[in-house]
Structure 1
């Protein structure tokens, strides 16, 4: 039984006489040049710096949720009431440098911390925190 796929044939090497194998190169080797631009790390490093700021802000909010029962309770209550302005105000009071865009669903809260580098959206961190077990 033939086990090859009907559209793909097994690879077969082209016929080559025994005597010419040593002196004849069937496929010449090509050296392709690297067509990528010169490496510039300025933007990359600046983006990493902005991302660290985002991580600090996300860390502040998560630590507050983890360690402060009244904060977590208040945040959940406001979110379940879809009171976005009050949720944002509560998050601002944690001391964050970057206030996230927030959305809620019955399972938890979705926070997007993002920054721009000039006009370019350079980095973002998405945090999903669950408050309901399945």
Structure 2
């Protein structure tokens, strides 16, 4: 008698369950040919990636400008005060005075501030940089 079918090791009451033999050979890997293996990939074009990389460099300069301005205690105090009162327009005005060339979308919570920096293009968005900085508990 196999121990796999013994009621002490397989205590289900339904006799149907005791008919199945649990054995490693039952789970042998089966490989079948797949149509995805011999799939043709499209031609590689790096123009879009090159455009995103060149745009990202400008976004990173704007991110450095934002962090430099926020390192000044007076500006940080002013921005946090208006954010604490929920004055989104004033926070956006303060960020606009930083002189960023890209569009900066600011959102904040009691514990963090998020800056999403997007290039100002009329077409589809190629890239964005998001800064998340903790400023509370």
* Common fold by TM > 0.5: yes
Give the gaps of 5 or more residues in structure 1: 14-26
The structure that has the greater radius of gyration is 2
Match of 1:75 among 71, 75, 79: 79
> How far apart, CA to CA, are the structure 1 residues paired with 2:85 and 2:70?
18
2:117 is matched with: 113
Q: Residue 103 of structure 1: SS of its match in structure 2?
A: strand
Following superposition, the deviation at residue 114 of structure 1 comes to: 1.8
Is residue 2:78 matched to residue 1:61?
A: no
List alignment gaps of at least 5 residues for structure 2: 5-21
Distance 1:86 1:12 in 2: 63
Q: Is the 8 A contact 1:80 1:104 kept in 2?
A: no
| Root mean square deviation of aligned Cα | 2.8
Is the 8 Å Cα contact of residues 91 and 99 (structure 1) preserved in structure 2? no
1:58 Cα deviation from its structure 2 partner: 1.3
Counterparts of 1:58 and 1:42, CA distance in 2: 24
Q: 3-state SS of the aligned residue for 2:102?
A: coil
- Is contact 2:102–2:120 with CA below 8 Å preserved after alignment? no
Tell me the TM-score normalized by structure 2. 0.69
Separation in 2 of the partners of 1:37 and 1:50? Answer: 25
Matches of 2:29 and 2:59, distance apart in 1: 55
Q: Distance in 2 between matches of 1:47 and 1:84?
A: 30
Partner Cα separation in structure 2 for residue 55 and residue 109 of structure 1: 17
The within-5 A match list for 1:18-29 is none
Number of residues of Structure 1 aligned to a counterpart in Structure 2: 113
Normalising by structure 1, we get a TM-score of 0.70
